[in-house]
Structure 1
Amino acid sequence: MTAASGRATLLVIAKEPVPGRVKTRLTPPYTPQEAAALAEASLSDTLDAVLRVPARRRILVLDGKPGRWLPPGFDVVPQVSGGLDERIAGAFAVCDDGPALLVGMDTPQLAAHLPADLGEDSHDAWFGLAADGGFWALGLAHPSRAGSLVRGVPMSTDHTGAVQRRRLVEAGLSVRDLPLLRDVDTAADAASVVGLCPPGSRFAAVLASFSEVAR
């Protein structure tokens, strides 16, 4: 069921779950097809979580084509070209005025951690640090500022999150920190995260099915 309207725009930046193109660090022990199935399940859980949070608009910023995993309730826009910093800046550029929060597709356990009061508090930014040093969530009260705040931040390093948060603070923004979450990049990540997923998680079900086959 879609939640009632809220003030914020919620963005999910994602890649189409195609074998060989997503979650390659899960291979091995998983096959490319299994890694893609886990990616699709994680994305589905993420989209479901976003649907349950009050929002003015929900947008999937996608590299690839939407598939059967896409539920109703999302506008779909293509990712811009360039590095991840450019793609994040481009995602915020499609927002209207008003607060916006962007999340990725790598945290299927995020349902309990998405702020339902986005834009209703006094903060200028919302930030969720990831355990690997990156970040799983970035929110801005004024998304038009995203370009200057994100472009040039070194992505996919163990200090990306620290650099990005410092950029927000140095810009004079008041930052609300969201809980630390672990991205699913490796098999160890998947095993650690699965127990934190909500009831009915597709990610948990898919991972369990692979474990059953392995037996």
Structure 2
Amino acid sequence: MSPCATTLLVIAKAPIAGFAKTRLTPPLTPREAARVAAAALLDTLDSVLRSEVTHRVVAFTGDLSAAECSHELARELAKFEVIPQRGAGFGARLANAHADAARFGAPVLQIGMDTPQIGPDVLTSAANQLVDDEAALLGPAEDGGWWALGLPTPQPARVLVDVPMSTDRTGELTGNALQHCGYRVRLLPKFSDVDTFADATRVAAQSTGRFAATIHELSDRGLVLR
């Protein structure tokens, strides 16, 4: 099977204590939360590497040398085109990342590092839908946000600058903004992303990999509240 002519874009931040996954503290310590973030990112990178796409890009921010699992992350990131995040505000950074990633080839399917349970089969299926249809793709999250955004061209990503992020209406408002740009919006399967510790335990119970192993290890050692 030949790879789908799509760029798969990951938005990621260095898993540094006090910088990544701060909503997991408490019950985790800042360093434990960063370990969880590193595991989630490593699982995500692994799924992207095993997906049938032509280009793999990571828009990265933060000091990798100060991150948990820095050596392993550096080894995995070397397999990607890594670009810096740029812009003031998360919406602007997302929009700019779409524009920068599209230079490697459009269309672009963008995900984050908060859904480590999503495997290459789901990502490959979404990439194929994006190539076969001129519609935008939106992957809704259980909390009202979204875990994936697929765009045939990067221009409509500019709507993200004006969409409130991290609310229970972010997904709805993103879909509405894309429709106002003239795009049909097709929904991908809904998944839970990891924002809180309750999210983390739920996702770990439904998945395998480094993320699930890290959550189970912390729980088994009594390092987190049950």
TM-score of the pair, normalised by structure 2? 0.87
Measured in 2, the distance between the counterparts of 1:213 and 1:20 equals 22
Quote how far apart the aligned CAs of 1:184 are: 0.7
Q: Please say if residues 156 and 181 of structure 2, whose CA atoms lie closer than 8 Å, have aligned partners that are also in contact.
A: no
Equivalence for 1:113 = 122
Distance 1:167 1:204, change over 3 A: same
How large is the RMSD of aligned CA atoms in angstroms?
A: 1.7
Question: Is residue 165 of structure 1 aligned with residue 178 of structure 2?
Answer: no
**Structure 1: gaps of 5 or more residues:** none
Quote how far apart the aligned CAs of 1:124 are: 2.2
Distance 1:5 1:113, change over 3 A: closer
Q: Please say if residues 124 and 142 of structure 1, whose CA atoms lie closer than 8 Å, have aligned partners that are also in contact.
A: no
Question: Is residue 129 of structure 1 aligned with residue 140 of structure 2?
Answer: yes
Q: Where does 1:144-163 land on structure 2 (aligned, <5 Å)? A: 144-147=155-158, 149-163=159-173
Question: Is residue 27 of structure 1 aligned with residue 25 of structure 2?
Answer: yes
Which deviations, in whole Å up to 9, do the C-alpha atoms of 1:143-165 show, x marking residues without a partner?
23322x32211111111111001
- Matched position secondary structure for 1:206: helix
Measured in 2, the distance between the counterparts of 1:113 and 1:5 equals 14
Normalized per residue, which structure has more helix?
A: 2
Measured in 2, the distance between the counterparts of 1:194 and 1:10 equals 24
Q: Please say if residues 7 and 119 of structure 1, whose CA atoms lie closer than 8 Å, have aligned partners that are also in contact.
A: no
Equivalence for 1:8 = 6
Equivalence for 1:203 = 211
Q: Where does 1:174-189 land on structure 2 (aligned, <5 Å)? A: 174-189=184-199
Equivalence for 1:89 = 95
Q: Which letter does structure 2 place at the counterpart of 1:27? A: T
Measured in 2, the distance between the counterparts of 1:187 and 1:9 equals 31
Distance 1:118 1:50, change over 3 A: farther
Q: Please say if residues 99 and 118 of structure 1, whose CA atoms lie closer than 8 Å, have aligned partners that are also in contact.
A: no
Measured in 2, the distance between the counterparts of 1:172 and 1:128 equals 19
Q: Which letter does structure 1 place at the counterpart of 2:133? A: S
Which deviations, in whole Å up to 9, do the C-alpha atoms of 1:5-51 show, x marking residues without a partner?
32100110011000011111111111111100000000111111111
Quote how far apart the aligned CAs of 1:4 are: 5.5
Which deviations, in whole Å up to 9, do the C-alpha atoms of 1:35-86 show, x marking residues without a partner?
0000000011111111111222111101114432241421111111311110
* Runs of 4+ deviating beyond 4 Å: none
Measured in 1, the distance between the counterparts of 2:107 and 2:63 equals 27
Q: Please say if residues 7 and 118 of structure 1, whose CA atoms lie closer than 8 Å, have aligned partners that are also in contact.
A: no
**Structure 2: gaps of 5 or more residues:** 65-69
- Matched position secondary structure for 2:23: helix
Q: Which letter does structure 2 place at the counterpart of 1:196? A: Q
What is the aligned residue count?
210
Equivalence for 2:58 = 60
Measured in 1, the distance between the counterparts of 2:149 and 2:115 equals 14
Q: Which letter does structure 2 place at the counterpart of 1:17? A: P
Q: Please say if residues 12 and 41 of structure 2, whose CA atoms lie closer than 8 Å, have aligned partners that are also in contact.
A: yes
Q: Which letter does structure 1 place at the counterpart of 2:84? A: P
Quote how far apart the aligned CAs of 1:116 are: 4.4
Question: Is residue 80 of structure 1 aligned with residue 78 of structure 2?
Answer: no
Q: Which letter does structure 2 place at the counterpart of 1:181? A: F
